[in-house]
Amino acid sequence: MKPRNLAPTDVEHILPPDQYILSTSDLSGRITSVNPLFIEFAGYTETELLNQQHNIVRHPDMPRSVFSLCWDAIADGEEFFGYIKNMRKDGGYYWVFAHILPIRGESGEVVGFRSVRRCPSRTAIEKIEPLYAEMLAAEGSAGARDAIAAGLKVLGTHLAKLGLSYDRLVAKL
Protein backbone atom coordinates (compact mmCIF):
# COMPACT_ATOMS: atom_id res chain seq x y z
CA MET A 1 0.00 0.00 0.00
CA LYS A 2 1.24 3.50 -0.86
CA PRO A 3 2.22 5.39 2.28
CA ARG A 4 -0.31 8.03 3.31
CA ASN A 5 0.84 11.62 3.03
CA LEU A 6 3.64 10.66 0.64
CA ALA A 7 4.94 13.93 -0.78
CA PRO A 8 6.81 14.03 -4.08
CA THR A 9 10.37 15.31 -4.00
CA ASP A 10 12.63 16.70 -6.72
CA VAL A 11 15.03 13.76 -6.42
CA GLU A 12 15.24 11.97 -9.76
CA HIS A 13 16.53 8.45 -10.19
CA ILE A 14 17.62 7.52 -13.70
CA LEU A 15 17.31 3.99 -15.01
CA PRO A 16 20.45 2.41 -16.43
CA PRO A 17 20.12 2.52 -20.23
CA ASP A 18 20.82 -1.20 -20.63
CA GLN A 19 18.35 -2.54 -18.04
CA TYR A 20 14.59 -3.03 -17.95
CA ILE A 21 11.94 -2.82 -15.26
CA LEU A 22 9.59 -5.78 -15.69
CA SER A 23 6.27 -6.58 -14.09
CA THR A 24 3.05 -8.40 -14.74
CA SER A 25 -0.41 -7.64 -13.47
CA ASP A 26 -3.83 -9.23 -13.52
CA LEU A 27 -6.82 -7.83 -15.39
CA SER A 28 -7.63 -5.40 -12.59
CA GLY A 29 -4.09 -3.96 -12.50
CA ARG A 30 -2.87 -5.82 -9.41
CA ILE A 31 0.84 -6.60 -9.58
CA THR A 32 1.56 -10.33 -9.89
CA SER A 33 5.32 -10.28 -10.49
CA VAL A 34 8.22 -7.82 -10.43
CA ASN A 35 11.90 -7.96 -11.24
CA PRO A 36 14.67 -6.74 -8.91
CA LEU A 37 15.08 -3.46 -10.83
CA PHE A 38 11.41 -2.59 -10.24
CA ILE A 39 11.89 -3.25 -6.52
CA GLU A 40 15.02 -1.08 -6.49
CA PHE A 41 13.50 1.86 -8.37
CA ALA A 42 10.09 1.79 -6.70
CA GLY A 43 11.72 1.60 -3.27
CA TYR A 44 9.22 -0.97 -2.02
CA THR A 45 9.90 -4.56 -1.06
CA GLU A 46 8.59 -7.31 -3.29
CA THR A 47 6.01 -8.15 -0.62
CA GLU A 48 4.83 -4.53 -0.54
CA LEU A 49 4.40 -4.52 -4.34
CA LEU A 50 2.76 -7.88 -5.00
CA ASN A 51 -1.05 -7.83 -5.08
CA GLN A 52 -1.09 -4.02 -4.98
CA GLN A 53 -2.61 -1.92 -7.72
CA HIS A 54 0.05 -0.87 -10.21
CA ASN A 55 -0.81 2.74 -9.45
CA ILE A 56 1.17 2.35 -6.21
CA VAL A 57 3.97 4.04 -8.20
CA ARG A 58 1.76 6.66 -9.90
CA HIS A 59 3.25 10.12 -9.69
CA PRO A 60 0.81 13.01 -9.16
CA ASP A 61 2.37 14.80 -12.17
CA MET A 62 0.89 12.15 -14.47
CA PRO A 63 -2.41 13.01 -16.16
CA ARG A 64 -5.17 10.48 -15.58
CA SER A 65 -6.01 10.75 -19.28
CA VAL A 66 -2.69 9.06 -20.23
CA PHE A 67 -3.66 6.07 -18.12
CA SER A 68 -7.09 6.12 -19.74
CA LEU A 69 -5.40 5.78 -23.15
CA CYS A 70 -3.32 2.94 -21.77
CA TRP A 71 -6.25 1.02 -20.30
CA ASP A 72 -8.34 1.52 -23.45
CA ALA A 73 -5.54 0.06 -25.59
CA ILE A 74 -4.74 -2.95 -23.44
CA ALA A 75 -8.41 -3.69 -22.74
CA ASP A 76 -8.82 -3.95 -26.52
CA GLY A 77 -5.94 -6.43 -26.61
CA GLU A 78 -3.53 -3.89 -28.11
CA GLU A 79 -0.09 -2.81 -27.00
CA PHE A 80 0.54 0.57 -25.37
CA PHE A 81 3.71 2.64 -25.58
CA GLY A 82 4.09 5.74 -23.46
CA TYR A 83 6.24 7.93 -21.29
CA ILE A 84 5.41 7.59 -17.61
CA LYS A 85 6.68 9.42 -14.56
CA ASN A 86 6.61 7.15 -11.51
CA MET A 87 6.99 7.98 -7.83
CA ARG A 88 9.13 6.00 -5.43
CA LYS A 89 8.19 5.10 -1.87
CA ASP A 90 10.55 7.86 -0.66
CA GLY A 91 8.85 10.51 -2.86
CA GLY A 92 11.58 10.56 -5.49
CA TYR A 93 10.70 9.91 -9.11
CA TYR A 94 11.87 8.13 -12.23
CA TRP A 95 10.79 8.36 -15.85
CA VAL A 96 10.25 5.29 -17.99
CA PHE A 97 9.39 4.51 -21.56
CA ALA A 98 6.74 1.85 -21.02
CA HIS A 99 5.64 -0.93 -23.33
CA ILE A 100 2.54 -2.63 -21.94
CA LEU A 101 1.06 -5.61 -23.68
CA PRO A 102 -1.66 -8.13 -22.97
CA ILE A 103 -0.86 -11.63 -21.77
CA ARG A 104 -3.11 -14.13 -23.51
CA GLY A 105 -4.44 -17.42 -22.21
CA GLU A 106 -4.58 -20.70 -24.11
CA SER A 107 -7.71 -19.73 -26.03
CA GLY A 108 -6.46 -16.24 -26.87
CA GLU A 109 -8.31 -14.33 -24.15
CA VAL A 110 -6.49 -11.56 -22.28
CA VAL A 111 -5.58 -12.85 -18.80
CA GLY A 112 -3.20 -10.13 -17.63
CA PHE A 113 -0.63 -7.59 -18.71
CA ARG A 114 3.14 -7.42 -19.01
CA SER A 115 4.99 -4.14 -18.69
CA VAL A 116 8.52 -3.61 -19.93
CA ARG A 117 10.01 -0.24 -19.02
CA ARG A 118 13.29 1.25 -20.06
CA CYS A 119 15.18 4.50 -19.71
CA PRO A 120 13.65 7.20 -21.93
CA SER A 121 15.73 9.81 -23.73
CA ARG A 122 16.10 13.19 -22.03
CA THR A 123 14.84 14.83 -25.23
CA ALA A 124 11.61 12.81 -25.07
CA ILE A 125 11.05 13.77 -21.43
CA GLU A 126 11.69 17.44 -22.20
CA LYS A 127 9.07 17.30 -24.97
CA ILE A 128 6.40 15.25 -23.17
CA GLU A 129 6.62 16.93 -19.76
CA PRO A 130 5.06 20.28 -20.82
CA LEU A 131 2.27 18.46 -22.66
CA TYR A 132 1.53 16.34 -19.59
CA ALA A 133 1.56 19.47 -17.40
CA GLU A 134 -1.01 21.11 -19.70
CA MET A 135 -3.17 17.98 -19.67
CA LEU A 136 -2.94 17.76 -15.88
CA ALA A 137 -3.94 21.42 -15.50
CA ALA A 138 -6.98 20.85 -17.72
CA GLU A 139 -7.93 17.80 -15.67
CA GLY A 140 -7.65 19.82 -12.46
CA SER A 141 -9.79 22.63 -13.83
CA ALA A 142 -12.47 20.27 -15.10
CA GLY A 143 -13.10 18.44 -11.83
CA ALA A 144 -13.06 14.71 -11.18
CA ARG A 145 -16.05 13.75 -13.34
CA ASP A 146 -14.78 15.47 -16.50
CA ALA A 147 -11.03 15.30 -15.84
CA ILE A 148 -10.14 12.55 -18.31
CA ALA A 149 -12.16 14.12 -21.12
CA ALA A 150 -10.48 17.49 -20.46
CA GLY A 151 -7.00 15.96 -20.55
CA LEU A 152 -7.79 14.06 -23.73
CA LYS A 153 -9.11 17.25 -25.33
CA VAL A 154 -5.78 19.00 -24.68
CA LEU A 155 -3.93 16.01 -26.05
CA GLY A 156 -6.21 15.85 -29.10
CA THR A 157 -5.65 19.52 -29.88
CA HIS A 158 -1.89 19.09 -29.57
CA LEU A 159 -1.90 15.98 -31.77
CA ALA A 160 -4.11 17.63 -34.39
CA LYS A 161 -1.61 20.49 -34.72
CA LEU A 162 1.14 17.94 -35.30
CA GLY A 163 -0.97 15.70 -37.53
CA LEU A 164 -0.13 12.71 -35.34
CA SER A 165 -1.81 10.09 -33.19
CA TYR A 166 -0.54 9.55 -29.63
CA ASP A 167 1.20 6.36 -30.79
CA ARG A 168 2.99 8.22 -33.59
CA LEU A 169 3.97 11.06 -31.24
CA VAL A 170 5.47 8.61 -28.77
CA ALA A 171 7.29 6.79 -31.58
CA LYS A 172 8.74 10.08 -32.88
CA LEU A 173 10.11 11.14 -29.53
Confidence of residue 1 (pLDDT cuts 50, 70, 90): low
The domain 21-172 having CATH identifier 3.30.450.20: the answer here is yes
Residue 2 binned pLDDT confidence (cut-offs 50, 70, 90): low
Top-confidence residue, 74 or 66:
66
Domains of the chain, by residue range, sit at: 21-172
With b for 16 or more beta-carbon neighbours within 10 A and e for fewer, the 28-60 pattern comes to ebebeebeebbbebbbbeeebbeebebebbbbe
pLDDT in tens, 108-122: 889 999 999 999 999
Residue 77's pLDDT band, with cuts at 50, 70 and 90, is confident
Give residue 6's pLDDT: 85
pLDDT of residue 103: 93
